[in-house]
Structure 1
Amino acid sequence: MAKTEPLYKLIYNSLKKQILTGTLPYNNQLPSEKELADQFKVSRITSKRALNDLAGDGYIRRFPGKGSFVIFKDLPRQRPYTISLLLPFFKNAGLEQYVQGISDYLKPTPFQLVIHSTQDDPDKQRQLIQSLSKETSDGVILYPSFPASLIDLVFNLFLDDFPIVLLDKELIDLPIPVVSSANFQGGYEATLHAIKQGHKNILFFSLASYLENSAVKNRYLGYLKALHEHQIQPALHLQQSDYPSNMDQNHLLQSFLEQTKKQGCTCIIVEHDILALELISTAAEMSWDIPRDMSFIGFDDLSLAHMITPKLTTVKQNFYQIGYAAAEKMLALITDPVKNESIVSIEIPIELKIRNSVQFIEHKKGADN
């Protein structure tokens, strides 16, 4: 659990951010101790400490009887204030909401958002990251499509004190903040719902490697916790590597569904909605009746999730809030002239959206699994 920030520090950081981003420019008068105390609902002692610390750090000067004035002068810049955003695609499930959240947070600041598409290509992603520097950008918000291939580049940027915030996935053991959904809780709640609906043979399905994708790993761990609490063994987990490398996606999914049903599995929790929808489509081609022949739970809550029949039960991610929080974290990194000590990652709450893709299974008393 992250340590709660002292109240005076909240005021200090809020005013410092306004000073460094130009909202409170040079020679502007700050609110009084009383006005700040009223605004933040704190004592005057607390607001006074915040102002005294700003004065001590060279941002403002306090004049008895006159008030506090900004004395910080930013150096002239040769380019606009910019934040670089690297996404796999310009438009994709949820990604446009990331952009909207980031853009809305940056609106009242002098920072412009510059969006780059990595085209879901590891080489293109590396090329774009290699082009980043303090001369071209003030910081980067990065959605790492291929995390393992980026560790060297991202760590070098970090060592150069270049502000970095990651979306959705962490880079293992690197001290870089990540803003993501509460993936562990999402996996846990999805599995708990399946258990409450009477399912006892539940499988978690992913085409991603858990070592490569921290978001999927945490969803899987949440799944395992829910099963453990109810003394249910996890179903045999199949990954893409378990199938011949030359098998196309459609045949792979058909083979997966056939094997899963033979194992007696009744519910599949899927790493994300797109894959869940592909599975349901494949099951329909096989003349399966969903959810009677198989129940499905996704993760994301894309618009298609409630447009198909049956509507998909899924874990809703708040992509907008993730983007908004990432921009807020980015400006906190940029506006701290000393290396920002707060490398705490942020988890945005999820919400389980219960629809019709999970069948209720009634078990007779004394009956075996």
Structure 2
Amino acid sequence: MTETVNTGAGAVPGGGRRRAPSMGDVARHAGVSSQTVSRVSNGLTNVDDSTRQRVLESMQALGYRPNGAARALKSGRFNNIGVIMFTLATLGNMKTLDAIAVEAAAADYSVTLIAVPDQTLGAVSGAYRRLSDQAVDGVLILFEARLLDQGEIHLPPGLPVVVIDSDSGSGYPVVDADQAEGARLATQHLLDLGHRQVEHVAGPASSFSGAHRAASWRATLEAAGIAPRAVHHGDWSTESGYRIGLELGRRDDVTAIFAANDQMALGVMRALHELGRDIPGEISVVGFDDIEEAHSFWPPLTTVRQNFHEVGRLAMERLLAEIAGTGAHSGTTLVPTELVVRASTAPPA
């Protein structure tokens, strides 16, 4: 004989898996109609406070979760945004994503992350195909906006989009740190100390941030009447900075180095230490980002501080405005950068 185990709402024979409580279960528990439960679930205001509280307590007691898909059909909103990015390995992307998640939660939105394994057209197109299968109200994109112009890439029509850390070539709203001003501050700081040339360890040539910082470094030198030397391209890693640092550290005509991120600056400093070059007595070093460990480099690193949290917060703010139909639909918002002077820079010997 099969025993029936009574577990309340959703009891099943034989003690099997309990079914999820329904709206009807909540209505019976609270002593109201299913329509009243529906109104409370959808946040409607035509329910008196005492009844609303009773329904909410019944939902909690039974473990009832309103059907998000059903609510979306009524409201036209999923309360979910998509985030597409190439990598989580960089400090900037991680901190920006953290800020996005915090702002999304505050606005009662969830986040669906879609990773793109590489910067090929096929990989990006695949990300968009996956995005089209997701129920999202809008999307934040953290990669080169120029890829959006490719003919094979099509975002779902009418989908609100905000681009981070790129240009506005595709006509979408953009939020970014002021890369150009940061690179200008770093280069001008070294010139103001008396250096007559500044070497640049740049990011990858394909990177928007890397290219923007390199262009500003070049323009700052030219404005001072100095012909820039060749750029040394790294890949944002400490190892690439170390390799380039060994090359530059063997040259007697190098007195100042501006690295496009702190990780490459750290690699440069390691190479200079191994070569017996004094920092900053013989060679000054400036980084970019102001990572948490920058003050613990030896010597502590002069660098450009980016406010990644503010970039993520403003990007989410602009996306929510686009979703609500109150956004500007285009234009660039720049978050200021600032120079943090520490002990890795000094006048040339």
Relative to the length of structure 1, the TM-score reads: 0.66
Match of 1:167 in 2: 164
* Pair 76,91 (structure 1): closer, same or farther in 2 beyond 3 Å: farther
Q: Is the 8 A contact 2:311 2:335 kept in 1?
A: yes
In structure 1, the residue corresponding to 2:287 is in which secondary structure? strand
Counterpart residue number, 1:66:
none
Q: Does residue 1:190 correspond to 2:186, yes or no?
A: yes
What does residue 201 of structure 1 align with? Answer: 197
Aligned-partner SS, 2:277: coil
C-alpha RMSD of matched pairs (Å): 3.4
Residue 135 of structure 1 and its aligned partner are, at CA, apart by 5.3
CA–CA distance in 1 between the matches of 2:254 and 2:102?
A: 44
Aligned equivalents of 1:133, 1:230: Cα separation in 2: 50
Matches of 1:346 and 1:111 in 2, distance apart? 22
TM-score normalised by structure 2 residue count:
0.70
Residue 132 of structure 1: SS of its match in structure 2? helix
Whole-angstrom distance in 2 between the partners of 1:250 and 1:298: 11
Q: Conserved in 1, the CA contact under 8 Å of 2:148 and 2:170?
A: no
Alignment of 1:56-71 (within 5 A): none
Matched residue, 1:256:
247
5+ long unaligned stretches in structure 2: 1-40, 48-70
1:230 is aligned to: 224
Equivalent residue, structure 2, for 1:83: 81
Give the counterpart of 2:212 among 200, 218, 239.
218
Which structure 1 residue ranges, 5 or more long, are not aligned? 1-21, 29-72, 242-247, 363-369
Deviations 1:108-163 (A, max 9, x none): 4232122334356656554223311285322211211x6665542796217x2222
Partners of 2:320 and 2:152 lie apart in 1 by 18
Tell me which moved more, 270-279 or 286-295.
286-295
Counterpart code for 2:317: E
Q: Which has the higher contact order (CA 8 A, sep 6+)?
A: 1
- Aligned pair in 2 of structure 1 residues 128, 134: CA closer, same or farther (>3 Å)? closer
Is the 8 Å Cα contact of residues 134 and 162 (structure 1) preserved in structure 2?
Answer: no
Question: Corresponding residue for 2:155?
Answer: 157
CA distance in 2, matches of 1:223, 1:201: 11
**Counterpart residue number, 1:43:** none
Q: Percent identity of the aligned residues?
A: 23
CA change 1:330–1:251 in 2 (3 A) is closer
Larger CA deviation: 123-132 vs 291-300: 123-132
> Does residue 301 of the first structure (1) align with residue 299 of the second (2)?
no
CA distance in 1, matches of 2:287, 2:295: 11
Larger radius of gyration: 2
